[in-house]
C-alpha cells in the first residue's frame, strides 16, 4: 500500500516534471521558431553581427561634429602635406627591415601600458606574458628592436590600453572627439590616453626635453606612417563621407577591442593617417 502510494507519488511527480519539461520544450521551440521567423523576415539579419562588429543600434554621439570635422580636415591636410611626403622620402632611404625594427622598438616601449591594462582587466596571464615579452625583447631582442618573444617563444602581445580597460569596466564611449594631430578618439578613450601617457617612457622624455622628445615622437610617427602608406588614402577614397567613415570605423574597432575580438587576431586601426599599427607575427600562432 505504502509502496503503491510511493509509486503513485513518484508517478505524479513524474507527471508534473514531464509537464514542466513539455511546456519548457514547447516554449523553447516557440522561441526558436520566432527567432527563425524574425531572422527570415529581417533582410538585414546577420548572425555574426553581435560577435564580430558593433551592433546596428550602437551609435556614437557626436555633439562636437562641426569642430571635429574641422580638425579632421586639418589632420587630413597635415597627412597629405607633411607626414606623407616625409614618410615617402624616408621609406626610400631607409630599408623596410630597419623600419620594422624601429616599429618593434617603439611598440616594446609601450609594454608598461599593456602590462598594467591587462592586470587591471584581471587578465593575469596576459599581463605576465606582456612582462615576459618586455624582458625578452629588451634583452635578447636588443633593446626591443626585434620580437624574439613572439618568433622564438610563441609569446604574443595582448593589445590592451586604459581606454579599453575603462570600457571593460562598463564605461561608455561618451562622445566622439577628433583631436588635432592625435586623431580619432572618444571622451572615454581620451581619459585612457592621458593615463597611458603616464605609462609611456616617451612622455617623460617629452616632459624632460621638449625638443628631443618631440623629435623622437615625430620620428616614431614618420616610421609608423612609412609602413602603412596608401592605407589611409584608399580608405578615405572608398568613402562617401570620409569623416563619418573614419568616425564609424574607429567606433567599431574600439568596441570590438573592448570585446576582445581583436586579440585573437591582432589588429590595428586603419582609419588614422599613418595608422598606429603594432608589429605582429600572428600567423604561426593560429
Residues that bind another protein (CB under 8 A): 43-44, 46-49, 52-54, 56, 59, 69, 72-73, 76, 96, 100, 227-228, 230, 234, 236-245, 247-249, 252-253, 256-257, 261-262, 265-271, 277, 280-283, 286
Q: How far is the CB of 70 from another protein (least distance, A)?
A: 9
In angstroms, rounded to a whole number, what is the distance separating the alpha carbons of residues 257 and 262?
Answer: 5
Task: Kindly list the distances between the CA atom of residue 73 and the CA atoms of 2, 78, 174, 234, 275, in Å, as whole numbers in the listed order.
Answer: 87, 8, 22, 16, 16
Beta bridge partners of 186: 176
Nearer to another protein, 116 or 224 (CB): 224
Which of 145-154's residues contact partners 24+ apart within 8 Å by CB, and which partners?
145/101, 145/102, 145/104, 145/105, 146/101, 146/104, 147/104, 147/108, 147/279, 147/281, 150/280, 150/281, 150/285, 151/281, 154/284, 154/285
Answer whether 167's CB lies under 8 Å from 120's CB. Answer: no
Nearer to another protein, 32 or 139 (CB): 32
Q: How far is the CB of 30 from another protein (least distance, A)?
A: 18
In angstroms, rounded to a whole number, what is the distance separating the alpha carbons of residues 156 and 241?
Answer: 36
In angstroms, rounded to a whole number, what is the distance separating the alpha carbons of residues 286 and 110?
Answer: 24
Nearer to another protein, 209 or 241 (CB): 241
In angstroms, rounded to a whole number, what is the distance separating the alpha carbons of residues 78 and 225?
Answer: 12
Q: How far is the CB of 131 from another protein (least distance, A)?
A: 24
Nearer to another protein, 171 or 261 (CB): 261
Q: How far is the CB of 243 from another protein (least distance, A)?
A: 4
In angstroms, rounded to a whole number, what is the distance separating the alpha carbons of residues 250 and 40?
Answer: 31
Q: How far is the CB of 87 from another protein (least distance, A)?
A: 13
Nearer to another protein, 116 or 178 (CB): 178
In angstroms, rounded to a whole number, what is the distance separating the alpha carbons of residues 136 and 150?
Answer: 10
Q: How far is the CB of 182 from another protein (least distance, A)?
A: 17
Q: How far is the CB of 14 from another protein (least distance, A)?
A: 36
Nearer to another protein, 123 or 277 (CB): 277
Nearer to another protein, 53 or 171 (CB): 53
Contacts of 23 (CB under 8 A, 6+ apart): none
Amino acid at each position: 500500500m505504502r509502496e503503491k502510494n510511493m509509486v503513485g507519488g513518484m508517478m505524479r511527480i513524474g507527471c508534473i516534471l514531464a509537464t514542466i519539461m513539455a511546456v519548457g520544450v514547447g516554449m523553447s521551440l516557440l522561441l526558436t521558431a520566432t527567432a527563425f521567423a524574425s531572422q527570415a523576415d529581417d533582410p538585414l539579419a546577420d548572425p555574426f553581427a553581435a560577435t564580430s562588429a558593433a551592433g546596428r543600434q550602437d551609435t556614437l554621439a557626436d555633439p562636437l561634429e562641426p569642430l571635429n570635422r574641422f580638425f579632421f580636415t586639418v589632420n587630413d591636410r597635415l597627412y597629405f602635406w607633411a607626414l606623407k611626403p616625409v614618410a615617402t622620402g624616408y621609406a626610400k632611404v631607409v630599408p623596410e627591415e630597419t623600419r620594422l625594427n624601429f616599429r618593434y622598438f617603439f611598440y616594446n616601449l609601450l609594454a608598461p601600458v599593456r602590462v598594467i591594462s591587462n592586470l587591471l582587466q584581471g587578465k593575469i596571464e596576459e599581463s605576465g606574458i606582456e612582462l615576459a615579452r618586455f624582458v625578452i625583447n629588451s634583452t635578447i631582442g636588443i633593446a626591443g628592436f626585434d620580437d624574439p618573444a613572439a618568433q622564438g617563444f610563441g609569446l604574443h602581445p595582448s593589445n590592451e590600453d586604459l581606454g579599453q580597460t575603462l570600457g571593460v569596466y562598463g564605461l561608455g564611449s561618451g562622445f566622439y572627439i577628433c583631436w588635432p594631430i592625435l586623431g580619432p578618439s572618444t571622451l572615454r578613450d581620451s581619459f585612457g590616453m592621458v593615463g597611458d601617457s603616464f605609462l609611456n617612457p616617451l612622455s617623460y622624455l617629452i616632459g624632460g626635453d621638449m625638443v628631443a622628445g618631440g623629435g623622437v615622437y615625430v620620428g616614431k610617427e614618420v616610421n609608423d606612417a612609412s609602413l602603412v602608406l596608401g592605407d589611409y588614402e584608399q580608405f578615405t577614397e572608398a568613402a562617401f563621407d570620409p569623416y563619418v567613415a573614419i568616425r564609424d570605423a574607429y567606433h567599431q574597432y574600439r568596441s570590438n577591442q573592448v570585446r576582445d575580438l581583436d586579440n585573437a587576431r591582432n589588429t590595428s586601426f586603419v582609419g588614422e593617417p599613418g595608422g598606429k599599427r603594432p608589429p605582429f607575427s600572428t600567423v604561426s600562432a593560429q
